[in-house]
Structure 1
């Protein structure tokens, strides 16, 4: 091997579990500018890969016509097993760092039984076009035995939307609410009534429980502030079923309305990888970061098995939740039960839109003690 020449040895694995080294080895030969510059033969590569193989580990490498690396996907055994339990809703966010090869890191993220972000596979891609996303999604779907998620949360990237429609036609696609709302100052900062517009949109998005209320309120807002010609706002309204909560509440989202899970996973990898990390360093640091992530999940598991949060009510159903839920999820349920104690149903009335419930909340001054 020529001194100073960098050669990446990679491999891919097909559905039947047979190592396919030929294509990857040829790529290595091309990068080394000939067989004479290699210090190993194809058999050596095969032996190395088989020695390093982990049970249940899956990866795929996409090469261009010149046998240069384009895209990479991988998922370890834990990620594949986690998808079986926590793959109902997945979030994608490709805004993470680019390494020195200009390949964005693309994590597939879900939520586990502790409410923690859990990794369901990773990709490094060379482009952010529809073709690349189709390859990535199809590879990930193949890795997960063809089982598509019920829901997907992403930003408004058009290429990603197109790929989702192609690969996951029956999956509910939700736009990240946070990415939309953070654009309000940019889109309306010039407007004389920007403060009132911000407040109105926030109220419509977060407070409307019924579709009719949202649509009526939206129409009033457009008329009041003369926003008829605002194309960005018109586009949001046209696609309101993709991001407005009252349209999406009938679908299970595992508590996710944004790509915050992906971003929290990005934060987790910070300190291990950065924009100058090489592919070899990336793999090594990725493994270290993942070990730490697994350790935190083990700690949460141990805490749930060894400790118990006492019930706050005498409801039998709360007792059932206490027995089967992890501590973190039971605390969420318990908060709902505790809140229920302070609410009293005053009246019920029937209307055209259904039943209306009048509820009164008991309040007290916390400063004077219990």
Structure 2
């Protein structure tokens, strides 16, 4: 990684650089940063205008960068020209998304993303004696810009001397990484550098320096957290003798995030290696990038049904009594009993990998049983196929009397993929997602960590997760993965989905190469296709070694041409929310250009404003953005209006009329100034609506009813 250049170093390189004749020459380097940039940043933000004068090149660069950061775009240096005396006479500062996109990758099916999209925004500077003057200006951009995401751009990242010195002193004093990074965060707030820049100063993580805490101290700490975050939720279960038994808490951001990611959660308990030996219970969801998002934590004294019922009810109360659609847990009977009591309508499944890990202790002495059981579980595409393969395996190894296997088969609807793939699980195949969330607490606690210290370290761990999501949002906002085919429906997903989810779709699109669809039947507008997939699987050979084997898999795809409705027996879309390669091959064969909007899930979209991103959290670096400030201001005044409107029926009706009128004005304003929605209705949706409308207008009798 090349070191950041100061403005003086950049200027020195420019003085020694060869002359440039083409004003639109392609830039090879983004503008570096200077540790003393903040010394002369203008206090009043101005837009670049023709004729503006600057005393030096550095002042001109500093001004344009400050303007770019305020507006929300990056800056690069383009053309530079020098006179006969080697002095700089002309240079151009442009938006970092200028230039033609250039994609380079060893694998043409996995091209690297590019931020460039020929943005015209730029400013040209020419020497006038000892000064520099702006000669031409273009302010318009051909892409969205975001001030809140500007700090993630390389040209705006900087570690000033004061922060560097603070990091060095803290490191010498033995401060661990997240504590050291938290020091400048608390002091400066919205930093222009991340924790990654601090790793050069911190060599190892050290234990926390807080004093030991007891139940009273933990309670007091929760009060302090709630004073910072009024929406912070916590509940403590105390025994009759005053002994603390169970604790649950969730911050405002977790509660708001649940409104977007409430459909599927995983729940898991993992023991912390501290002196209390108390299990940490986590509620985990999946965000629009496919990353883990924490939806609440609990510290439990026991793992019996009564304790889990208390925890689930506390969590449900925290989340406005809205239960999830589906839950993934370990194979635990008390946990299962509690879920049946508190979430009776939720689809419950066990973690498959946890079951497979128990094979050695429950089936010791059977060679190759793990490989055989894995093939039965993961390679069975249908329920009937699983049942048949299971019986064959039981007979082969003479396991009819094995109680553990008998119990698994009796509960096959709780864990076998063929029995659970008809439910949307957001890609959650096991509770490993929960375990990965628990893993990010590693480094924040040690063997001597007390309860009070752990809860305080929760803030630092949450800050890390929030920053990761913010960076992923910025990446999806700034970058665009290029299409690898000419199919129009690929461009639909490219425009709608986050970077991570569009990559998953492209993985299935690549898999189309190995799929061969053939029409088997047609009844009316319903087509039945057989799709042969040339695949490779891993199996255990006779010598006990794992080897690769080529197999041909058969899938059935149903396609309703009138409704443009499609379904595959692999059920990948129902399970993960991503169209499978088998469906894609049929769509291509049927020359479908646009897929209906129901196959582009709102859950994976990058253009959706989600509530938790506006929630003020004391660990969130976006705490001082204008969006959050406006949101808090509106919430404050709306609460006052609600209190006044609740005094009588007449005032209530008056407030509701005013709110309805205000909403109409907001809708009219958005319609007049906003650009066309990215989520416009597809051509297929329009055709389907027209067909349905015609069906409703034409009356039919019993003799005219079409065959189903």
TM-score w.r.t. structure 2 length? 0.43
Q: Deviations over 1:104-150 (max 9, x none)?
A: 11111111111111100000111111111000000000000011111
1:277 maps to 2:449: yes
- Equivalent-residue separation in structure 2 for 1:254 and 1:6 (angstroms): 39
Which structure 1 residue ranges, 5 or more long, are not aligned? 12-23, 25-44, 364-370
Cα drift, residue 74 of structure 1? 0.5
Which position in structure 2 is the counterpart of 1:338? Answer: 510
- Equivalent-residue separation in structure 1 for 2:272 and 2:214 (angstroms): 23
Cα drift, residue 95 of structure 1? 2.5
Q: Deviations over 1:192-236 (max 9, x none)?
A: xx21x3222111111111101110111121122211100000000
1:324 maps to 2:499: no
Q: Kindly tell me: are residues 198 and 170 of structure 1, through their superposed partners in 2, closer, same or farther at Cα, counting changes over 3 Å?
A: same
| Aligned Cα root-mean-square deviation (Å) | 2.6
Cα drift, residue 5 of structure 1? 10
> Greater relative contact order (Cα 8 A, min sep 6): structure 1 or 2?
1
Native 8 Å contact 2:518 2:529 kept in 1: no
1:49-68 pair list within 5 angstroms:
49=224, 52-68=227-243
SS of alignment partner, residue 281 of structure 2: strand
Which position in structure 1 is the counterpart of 2:381? Answer: 209
1:357 maps to 2:530: yes
Cα drift, residue 157 of structure 1? 1.2
- Equivalent-residue separation in structure 1 for 2:305 and 2:390 (angstroms): 32
Which position in structure 2 is the counterpart of 1:100? Answer: 275
Which position in structure 1 is the counterpart of 2:311? Answer: 136
- Equivalent-residue separation in structure 1 for 2:535 and 2:365 (angstroms): 43
**Rg comparison, structure with higher value:** 2
Which position in structure 2 is the counterpart of 1:153? Answer: 328
Which structure 2 residue ranges, 5 or more long, are not aligned? 1-210, 537-708
- Equivalent-residue separation in structure 1 for 2:377 and 2:300 (angstroms): 34
Cα drift, residue 289 of structure 1? 1.1
Cα drift, residue 10 of structure 1? 6.2
Q: Which residue among 204, 207, 216 is the counterpart of 1:9?
A: 216
Native 8 Å contact 2:372 2:393 kept in 1: yes
1:87-236 pair list within 5 angstroms:
87-191=262-366, 194-195=367-368, 197-236=369-408
Cα drift, residue 8 of structure 1? 4.0
Native 8 Å contact 1:113 1:326 kept in 2: yes
Q: Kindly tell me: are residues 154 and 77 of structure 1, through their superposed partners in 2, closer, same or farther at Cα, counting changes over 3 Å?
A: same
Single out whichever of 246-255 and 214-223 deviates more from structure 2: 214-223
Native 8 Å contact 1:173 1:242 kept in 2: yes
SS of alignment partner, residue 274 of structure 2: coil
Cα drift, residue 50 of structure 1? 8.6
Q: Kindly tell me: are residues 55 and 144 of structure 1, through their superposed partners in 2, closer, same or farther at Cα, counting changes over 3 Å?
A: same
Native 8 Å contact 1:114 1:300 kept in 2: yes
Which position in structure 2 is the counterpart of 1:84? Answer: 259
Which position in structure 2 is the counterpart of 1:20? Answer: none
Which position in structure 2 is the counterpart of 1:300? Answer: 472
Single out whichever of 323-332 and 307-316 deviates more from structure 2: 307-316
Q: Kindly tell me: are residues 6 and 228 of structure 1, through their superposed partners in 2, closer, same or farther at Cα, counting changes over 3 Å?
A: closer
Native 8 Å contact 1:348 1:358 kept in 2: no
Cα drift, residue 317 of structure 1? 2.0
Q: Kindly tell me: are residues 235 and 186 of structure 1, through their superposed partners in 2, closer, same or farther at Cα, counting changes over 3 Å?
A: same
Which structure dedicates a bigger proportion of its chain to helix?
1
- Equivalent-residue separation in structure 2 for 1:83 and 1:5 (angstroms): 33
Cα drift, residue 6 of structure 1? 6.2
Cα drift, residue 96 of structure 1? 3.2
- Equivalent-residue separation in structure 1 for 2:225 and 2:300 (angstroms): 25
Which position in structure 2 is the counterpart of 1:33? Answer: none
Q: Deviations over 1:238-270 (max 9, x none)?
A: 000000000001100111121011110111110
- Equivalent-residue separation in structure 1 for 2:271 and 2:501 (angstroms): 29
Q: Kindly tell me: are residues 138 and 293 of structure 1, through their superposed partners in 2, closer, same or farther at Cα, counting changes over 3 Å?
A: same
- Equivalent-residue separation in structure 1 for 2:468 and 2:433 (angstroms): 16
Native 8 Å contact 1:98 1:104 kept in 2: no
